[in-house]
Structure 1
Amino acid sequence: MAEARKSMVIVGGGSAGWMTAIYLNRRFNLAGRHMDITVIESPDIGIIGVGEATVHSVRFFFAQMGLDEAELLKETNGAFKLGILFRNWMKPVDGRPHEYFHPFEHQPLGRTLDISSQWLTSERAGAERYDEGVSLSAPLMKARHGPKTMTSRAYQGVVPYGYHIDATLMARFLRRKAIEAGVRHVEATVADVDCDGATIKAVVTNDGDRFEGDIFVDCTGFRGLLIDRLKADNWESFEDALPCNRAVALQRELAPGEAPKPYTTATALTNGWAWQIDLVNRQGTGYVYDGNRLTPEEAEAELRAFLGPEAKVLKCTHLDMKVGCRREFWVGNCIATGLAGGFIEPLESTGLHLINLAAGLMGTHLSGAPDQSVRDSFNRLMRGYYQDLKQFIVLHYCLTDRDDSDFWRAAPATVDHTPWLKAQLEAWRRKICEFSDLSGSFSTIFTDENYRYILYGMDHRPDLWTRADPAETEAIFADLARMGDMAVKNTAPHGDYLRQLHM
């Protein structure tokens, strides 16, 4: 006797709803229909849609979903992202603003010593930035080249890359693809949740329609409309370690002749930092700040002054941010994802990455009959992902030497709320950050290689006794220089590639 099909109701669209729907539909229904998936999306509640940069792993999600990369970029006004350029996170040095670049790559060069140790123990450490010494993305970024040659295949480049995409357009694109693949779309606003203890029986819309299901996925953003009905006192705040709890987001026109930059910029301001993310048609920018130290009006004025009087602003949005995560993401038959599950400030563009992780875990954890052990497993892994990301974001703040505002004077103490990181920072004064330091963690994308870009970019370098062989060091960095020149020679200027793509 054939097993009855299961049903899933996803409440809320946006990136969380449609990424989850398209992933689970492909996983459970690719070889015959085993799960009916319905997305209920409100026409009255807009999506936040300001998180417009991604980490590099998101391209594997798009590829796995069978989506055409060129079509994705065309439909979302998309561009490429080589990494993040950080500015002014420390005091100027010799009158020059502080800068460092965090790319997605690692070059496994080195014979006796790894390339990081080779760089740290050579004279290069006093003459160039760490990212300039050990990556191919840095010369590409400086040349304003993207990761692609004119003949690169989909989802491949000379270095790993992410995207800059219009989040609202991406949700629409995924919605269309999901509906074409068999996901049911209902346009309505959920007004009530019918619960029996820790189980949701149905959701009821403003029109009085009732939708029952075996599993409900809460994608209702910070409201947590479903998950909050099942469990009170289910939120762990991270604001002690990450005090930025508000943002003002602006969209501005690109100036005539201004080509989109192939990287995100994160510039430290008085009480937080500003992002700049270039799409093909505009720039998304915003100020993430501590709302206990700055009013929304003051934050908007500071951001507009940072952009300059010539900036042509198209749209302005103010946001309250609920920083932290659920203690239990899965309660009864309800799973919270996206902003309903948690939020880490967008300093490293991890919003879509966390949705991707949650969707993958749903795929494995819903493959059999879920009981409490399965829910416990899901909750343990999701909490671990958020805790790991929390400490990685704290790393960016706690190493600062800025003392020009109360916010920056308090920033070094944020490490007190991440004891593991505090202990490791002491060890990393005397040894390199290595794979074994993080191998037992929940880290899913930021490894020792990523930590080193932040540590050494923020001048937290170990004092090493080891000394590299000068001839070996010279040969390694000569090889890397040749590779960098070849990467620039073979790739296209970012603007040229995008003009051809979006024709």
Structure 2
Amino acid sequence: MAKEAIKNITIVGGGSSGWMTAMYLQRLYNQSGGTVKIRLVESKDVGTIGVGEATVHSIRFFFAAMGLDENELLRETNATLKNGIMFRNWMKPKDGQTHEYFHPFEQQRPAGPLDNATAWVQSPKHVSYAQATSISSELISNANSPKTATSPQYQGIVPYGYHLDAILMGKYLRKKACGAGVEHIEANVKHVKTDGETITSIITNKGEFTSDIFIDCTGFKGLLIESLRDNNWQSFEQELPCNKAVAIQRKPLLGQSPKPYTLATALTNGWAWEIDLSNRQGTGYVYDGNRLTRKEAEAELLEHLGDSQEILKTVHLDMKIGCRKEFWIGNCISIGLSGGFIEPLESTGLHIVNVGARLLATHLSSNAPTQPVRDSYNKTLNGIYQDLRQFIILHYCLSDRDDTEFWKQAAKTAAYAKGLPEMLELWRNKTCEFMDLAGGYGTIFNDENYRFILYGMDHTPDLSQPASEYEIQNILQRLAQQQEQADKSAMLHSEFLKLVSK
């Protein structure tokens, strides 16, 4: 029997995840004259969390594919550009200096038979790995953006992400999605009607709605997916115990332009972020709620910030760290926080939404998907979450801090990621390379990203490659020349923001 095409899809929940998904599906099915009805139901009474203010670089491809004007996007969300993340205090001080390292988005390919990492490892190492091999590291040292005066939209000297206001982002995407034809209904869901593991309709204060497919974007509560099956959650809190956050919005730092990078500083029982938007700073403390109270966490964050900037807003958050065992059950698919969450250390929240929505293009091809199709979707997303989980664990397990019980336990977390202890031992004796990670579900972080973390955390291999000093210096000099050329052509971050604001 021939399968029937999808006639309608109902998304429950707004925010960035709901509206990104709505916009993507509207463009996927209807841009060329399709007739799939895309409906989004959201409640006025349920607020957006609105603190996920940084992204990875791949989100640019989503915005570009949706036909959004990048300058308009930046203006509407008070956004700035992000060259990467500066990590501070994740290891003990060395020679009286606070430990820090930089993780950029770029990957500089070697020009000869000897790779860049091996050249740096076997050099005298007068500078860090990022400083030696990364253009982005040089850009931030001079407060430069990744853009030149002539860079096309969504392109730059190096890959870049954004810092943006998450609430404004949701509103902007809603405007664009509705303008493209998405039906928007403001209503409270009172009841989810099910038949076994299939949703037949949702009952709201604005009436009852049926649909071929329901997409759950209701955040941590997972209103739809939870109605279909119990015991469908796998927790990562044993290995990633930071399950609480206090977020503070405050006025811009006086006399300082917005930084073109995120700052992540390790504290006693977690880490604090600092993200500069064009109109304010977002900061917060992601911490282990079993070791600190809300009051203690807020006090430690304020002490860390150490100044008297005017506070605009303070929010305390409870986070579920983990993901669904199955993201797609029956005719319901969970995307965003309803599907899972890994602490925001590498700003992967919107990336996961992007991946989850884009997978629908190949999996959601009829109104009655088969179980093998659902299994494929679930297997892929589970693999992606496990891959991200391992990468986040890497940041913790390499730390040598032992000043609190939190950090003593963090050093033991590699054991929770199958195969990671063996790879860490391997990477003591060779550089981390693509084939070491091949066969996984990496969608954003590759061998180069691993090297920035490994070498930034002093996990460098013991090598004795038969390479001449001349060859090594030639490679590092070539990289230095690329940095210098990029620095000369890049716009100051502050100048770029002025240009966009016009």
Q: Is the Cα–Cα contact under 8 Å of residues 5 and 33 in structure 1 kept in the other structure?
A: no
Where 1:119 maps in the other structure, the secondary structure is helix
Identity %: 58
In structure 1, how many angstroms separate the alpha carbons of the residues matched to 2:331 and 2:253? Answer: 50
Q: Deviations over 1:426-471 (max 9, x none)?
A: 1111111100011100010100000000000000011112142211
**Cα shift at 1:4:** 6.1
Q: Which deviates the most, 257-266 or 359-368?
A: 359-368
1:55-134 to 2 correspondences below 5 Å: 55-123=56-124, 125=125, 127-134=126-133
Matched with 1:165 is 164
Counterpart amino acid of 2:170?
Answer: A
1:451-490 to 2 correspondences below 5 Å: 451-490=450-489
Does residue 499 (structure 1) correspond to residue 498 (structure 2)? The answer is yes
1:312-323 to 2 correspondences below 5 Å: 312-323=310-321
**Cα shift at 1:111:** 1.3
Q: Is the Cα–Cα contact under 8 Å of residues 163 and 276 in structure 2 kept in the other structure?
A: yes
Counterpart amino acid of 1:111?
Answer: G
Where 2:39 maps in the other structure, the secondary structure is strand
In structure 2, how many angstroms separate the alpha carbons of the residues matched to 1:223 and 1:434? Answer: 39
Counterpart amino acid of 1:261?
Answer: K
In structure 2, how many angstroms separate the alpha carbons of the residues matched to 1:212 and 1:500? Answer: 47
- TM, length-normalised to structure 1: 0.98
Matched with 1:38 is 39
Matched with 2:408 is 409
1:235-274 to 2 correspondences below 5 Å: 235-274=233-272
Runs of 4+ that moved beyond 4 A: 1-5
**Cα shift at 1:367:** 1.9
Q: Deviations over 1:389-447 (max 9, x none)?
A: 00100000000000111101111111111121111101111111100011100010100
Where 1:90 maps in the other structure, the secondary structure is coil
CA 1:4 to 1:60, structure 2 compared with 1: closer, same or farther past 3 Å? closer
1:203-222 to 2 correspondences below 5 Å: 203-207=202-206, 209-222=207-220
Counterpart amino acid of 1:271?
Answer: N
Counterpart amino acid of 2:301?
Answer: L
Does residue 430 (structure 1) correspond to residue 446 (structure 2)? The answer is no
Does residue 49 (structure 1) correspond to residue 32 (structure 2)? The answer is no
In structure 2, how many angstroms separate the alpha carbons of the residues matched to 1:253 and 1:151? Answer: 31
**Cα shift at 1:311:** 2.1
In structure 1, how many angstroms separate the alpha carbons of the residues matched to 2:26 and 2:223? Answer: 23
Counterpart amino acid of 2:14?
Answer: G
Matched with 2:360 is 362
In structure 2, how many angstroms separate the alpha carbons of the residues matched to 1:490 and 1:365? Answer: 43
Matched with 1:324 is 322
Q: Is the Cα–Cα contact under 8 Å of residues 122 and 468 in structure 1 kept in the other structure?
A: no
Runs of 5+ in structure 1 lacking a partner? none
Q: Is the Cα–Cα contact under 8 Å of residues 246 and 290 in structure 1 kept in the other structure?
A: yes
Where 1:325 maps in the other structure, the secondary structure is strand
Q: Is the Cα–Cα contact under 8 Å of residues 6 and 365 in structure 2 kept in the other structure?
A: no
1:274-293 to 2 correspondences below 5 Å: 274-293=272-291
Counterpart amino acid of 1:374?
Answer: V
In structure 1, how many angstroms separate the alpha carbons of the residues matched to 2:205 and 2:490? Answer: 53
**Cα shift at 1:312:** 1.4
**Cα shift at 1:257:** 2.7
**Cα shift at 1:151:** 1.5
In structure 2, how many angstroms separate the alpha carbons of the residues matched to 1:468 and 1:140? Answer: 30
RMSD: 1.3
CA 1:12 to 1:306, structure 2 compared with 1: closer, same or farther past 3 Å? same
Counterpart amino acid of 2:288?
Answer: D
Matched with 2:304 is 306
Q: Deviations over 1:138-195 (max 9, x none)?
A: 1101101000011211001001100001111111111111111110000111111011
Matched with 1:13 is 14
Counterpart amino acid of 2:281?
Answer: Q
**Cα shift at 1:309:** 3.3
**Cα shift at 1:219:** 0.4
Q: Which deviates the most, 491-500 or 285-294?
A: 491-500
1:436-455 to 2 correspondences below 5 Å: 436-455=435-454
Matched with 2:176 is 177
Where 2:146 maps in the other structure, the secondary structure is coil
CA 1:100 to 1:210, structure 2 compared with 1: closer, same or farther past 3 Å? same
Matched with 1:350 is 348
In structure 2, how many angstroms separate the alpha carbons of the residues matched to 1:237 and 1:58? Answer: 26
Counterpart amino acid of 1:429?
Answer: R
CA 1:67 to 1:484, structure 2 compared with 1: closer, same or farther past 3 Å? same
Q: Is the Cα–Cα contact under 8 Å of residues 103 and 130 in structure 2 kept in the other structure?
A: yes
Where 1:419 maps in the other structure, the secondary structure is coil
CA 1:464 to 1:225, structure 2 compared with 1: closer, same or farther past 3 Å? same
**Cα shift at 1:363:** 1.6
In structure 1, how many angstroms separate the alpha carbons of the residues matched to 2:79 and 2:52? Answer: 13
CA 1:34 to 1:469, structure 2 compared with 1: closer, same or farther past 3 Å? farther
In structure 2, how many angstroms separate the alpha carbons of the residues matched to 1:498 and 1:108? Answer: 30
Does residue 223 (structure 1) correspond to residue 224 (structure 2)? The answer is no
Q: Is the Cα–Cα contact under 8 Å of residues 80 and 164 in structure 1 kept in the other structure?
A: yes
Q: Is the Cα–Cα contact under 8 Å of residues 121 and 467 in structure 1 kept in the other structure?
A: no
- TM, length-normalised to structure 2: 0.98
Give aligned pairs, total. Answer: 500
Counterpart amino acid of 2:252?
Answer: L
